[in-house]
A = this chain, B = another copy of it.
Amino acid sequence: MAKELTSREENYSQWYNDLVIKADLAENSAVRGCMVIKPYGYAIWEKMRDELDRMFKETGHVNAYFPLFIPKSFLSKEADHVEGFAKECAVVTHYRLKNNPEGTGVVVDPEAKLEEELIVRPTSETIIWSTYKNWIQSYRDLPILCNQWANVVRWEMRTRLFLRTAEFLWQEGHTAHATEQEAIEEAQRMLEVYADFAENYMAVPVIKGVKSANERFAGALDTYCIEALMQDGKALQAGTSHFLGQNFAKAFDVKFANKEGKEELVWATSWGVSTRLMGALIMSHSDDNGLVLPPKLAPFQVVIVPIYKTEEQLTMINEKANSIIKSLKSLGIRVKYDNNDTKKPGWKFAEYELKGVPVRLAIGARDLENGTIEVARRDTLSKETVSIEGIDQYILHLLEDIQKNIFQIALERRRKFTRKVDSWEEFKTEIEKGGLLLCHWDGTPETEEKIKEETKATIRCIPLDAEEESGICVYSGKPSTRRVVFARAY
């Protein structure tokens, strides 16, 4: 194979980087920490975005767009929020360059200094709630259910393609409600949407839970999350949904007149997923040969490669392929025909394996005679020869099967990687093996902090379906009523 990957066993981290680069998903740019999302990677992100956007709209949300810049003073209005976000951000201080009076090129024009610095949004609660203030007077104006697809910037010191970049793409939902109950329900509803998307589109099983205070969003009363497990045993937070209480309404003085005409502060949620999902997708399913994409998100679900020696054979294969393409497309299947004659079939096979195309069809002169076609599935790397008759329905079911199969494999991996741990000695041994540890915890930030210091493990979440169970904290020995999920995480 032309573009060999480091194997996962040899160096998982290097495997991931190799794969992102060699499968043409993304690359580092000339700007520190910022990535270029290449067309193939962007096509996958587009599929994700389109499905999520449809799900948001089906749950009553509308899209809008708010400014890229946030006045510096806005960030300070919510105390926890500024602590969480002011530390790593891109600051615009000037609005003009001028020709360098001392030489070539351009320099910042010192006369074009902004009175108040602008922050490139790391998240948009502050600018949005300053806007909502003007949109909300009465209970009749509520709820507001807005989402925004946007770029955001957080000045991360250590970056990795998709997983942690200075600029990333995301969506951020920001909703305003008349009651606490309604806001909590909204935050939980969007967590369900994220879980549905992760499991049924990305084929990534997730645990739905709530964050401990240490891991909560800066400014939230509760952060709900979905947590996924990667092949190397590390956890990855794939999406968060925050119940913000009245914190931002207080900070920006957003009140409404209720049905009795009394003024009340508005209740808020925010929720987001980002291009980080690309990292989760890649690390959940791919193997040493390359990407493995779930059919529902694959830019091409099927690729057809002709195998021929003569032009005459190619002409006949083209004809047959075109009729197959037509019937596949009529079923809504995304198919690519690669009859580029400057590449050999073997090269193409490797290339589409690397790119994770779920199904590869190969058709040769012998197949034409026999009315057969070779079907290779990417997930199992298995091949079989089947009849061309009825191939469209065959492929349709095969794609459904692949979608289910890669989810089941990920689910089974998680099952094996998840275990209950009841002593500190065991915890220290087990955490080295990776995976999710279900442990009792005394509920204090101090204990969580100490566990993190000693083992680099954090509480990924308190699962929403955690059973009541008496136990003692794995670290402090104090009493606990339910198990939480510990893991090392991306």
Contact = CB atoms under 8 A, between A and B. Distances in A.
Interface in A85-104: 86-98, 104
A120 B167 CA distance: 12
A127 B92 CA distance: 19
Contact of A155 (B43, B68, B95, B130): B95
Contact of A65 (B36, B131, B155): B36
Interface in A106-165: 106, 108, 117-120, 127, 130-131, 134, 140, 146, 150-151, 153, 155
A43 B62 CA distance: 8
Interface stretch (A73-81, A234-242, A425-433): A73-81
A62 B38 CA distance: 9
Contacts of A38: 64
Contact of A43 (B37, B46, B63): B63
A342 interface: yes
A153 to B, nearest CB: 7
Contacts of A96: 86-89, 91, 155
A310 interface: no
Contacts of A68: 34, 120, 151, 153, 167
A355 to B, nearest CB: 14
Given A30-B130, A43-B63, A91-B108, A120 B120 contact: yes
B146 A66 contact: no
A105 interface: yes
B167 A67 contact: yes
Contact of A91 (B42, B89, B93, B150): B93
Interface centre among A36, A42, A67, A140 (most CB of B within 10 A): A67
Contacts of A127: 29-31
Nearest to A76: B105
A69 B33 CA distance: 11
Given A38-B64, A73-B105, A105-B76, A91 B95 contact: yes
A402 to B, nearest CB: 24
A46 B148 CA distance: 12
A71 interface: yes
8 contacts: A30-B131, A34-B69, A72-B97, A72-B108, A86-B96, A86-B106, A91-B93, A95-B155
